[in-house]
């Protein structure tokens, strides 16, 4: 309860700071660079969720513990949500700076493939009626997809010459304004907190649903 209230306050502070405290970065039209505080953490969560889902799938296949599958499914669902958010916010930024909502920039290509994998994962889950089998198949597909994705890094054309801003807004490079860096890291933290909270809620829901199903067949 306390943690949740703190998270709410923290998130509100970050949203206000993103618009009022941090200054807009140079070299971007108007205030467009402020999308950094929302878009980048969303993309980070989408990737993190994908990774968590894959690791939980491996655990499920090794130990056959239902809890692991709940984690894999919840992480995938939340990852899909954040993936959509990152795609939409990125697309708005693309319209504002590059002139079109969609132009198959390498970043856009890779996020679409991530969305397709998530979509296929859910389609597979909904198409297998048997519970145990559904979990195994979903886990196997998750791992297969994880093995295929690295090839994209090599084959997506001109991945190094993406229009995606890296240098001015990358926190690791010295080009970033200290105020911007502070708000960015704060936002990253807030989004991670939000994700963890949502993930735990989702796992609890699946747990309760699982109990009900088991009781029915007892």
Partner 1 sequence: MHQTKNARQTTQTKPSTYLNEAVAIWLRDLRSEFRTRYALNAILMFAVTTLIAVSFSIGSFRIEEAERPFLYAVLLWIILTFSALSGLARSFVKEEEAGTMDILKLSARPQAVFLGKLLFNLTLLGAMELIIVPSFILLMAYQINFPGFFIAMVVSGGLGLAAGTTIIAAMIARASARGALFSALSIPLLLPLMITAIKGCERAAVGIGTAGWPEVKMAVAYVIVMVIMSLFLFPLVWEE
Residues that bind partner 1 (CB under 8 A): 61, 113, 116-117, 119-120, 123-124, 127-130, 132-133, 136-137, 139-141, 143-145, 147-149, 151-152, 154-157
Q: Are 187 and 18 in contact (CB under 8 A)?
A: yes
CB of 107 to partner 1, least distance (A): 15
CB of 82 to partner 1, least distance (A): 18
Choose between 21 and 137: whose C-beta lies nearer to partner 1. 137
CA distance 164 to 122: 29
Choose between 2 and 155: whose C-beta lies nearer to partner 1. 155
CB of 151 to partner 1, least distance (A): 4
The whole-angstrom distance between residue 21's C-alpha and the CA centroid of its chain comes to 26
Q: Which residues, at least 6 apart from 47, have a Cβ–Cβ distance to it below 8 Å? A: 114
| Paired tokens of 174 | 């010295």
CA distance 204 to 73: 12
Q: Residue 90: name the closest of 48, 46, 50, 49 by CA.
A: 46
CB of 139 to partner 1, least distance (A): 8
Choose between 14 and 114: whose C-beta lies nearer to partner 1. 114
Choose between 158 and 218: whose C-beta lies nearer to partner 1. 158
């Amino acid at each position: 309860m306390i943690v949740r209230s703190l998270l709410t306050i923290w998130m509100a502070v970050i949203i206000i700071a993103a618009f009022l405290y941090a200054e807009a970065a140079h070299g971007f039209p108007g205030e467009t660079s402020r999308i950094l505080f929302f878009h980048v953490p969303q993309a980070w969560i989408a990737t993190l969720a994908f990774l968590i889902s894959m690791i939980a799938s491996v655990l499920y296949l090794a130990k056959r513990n239902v809890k692991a599958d709940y984690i894999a499914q919840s992480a995938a669902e939340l990852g899909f949500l954040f993936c959509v958010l990152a795609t939409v916010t990125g697309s708005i930024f693309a319209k504002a700076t590059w002139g079109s909502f969609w132009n198959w920039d390498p970043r856009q290509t890779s996020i679409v493939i991530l969305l397709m994998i998530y979509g296929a994962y859910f389609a597979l889950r909904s198409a297998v009626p048997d519970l145990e089998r559904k979990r195994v198949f979903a886990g196997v597909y998750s791992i297969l997809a994880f093995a295929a994705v690295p090839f994209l890094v090599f084959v997506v054309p001109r991945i190094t010459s993406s229009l995606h801003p890296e240098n001015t807004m990358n926190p690791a490079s010295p080009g970033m304004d200290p105020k911007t860096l502070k708000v960015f890291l704060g936002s990253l933290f807030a989004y991670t907190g939000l994700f963890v909270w949502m993930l735990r809620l989702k796992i609890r829901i699946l747990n309760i649903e699982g109990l009900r199903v088991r009781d029915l067949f007892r």
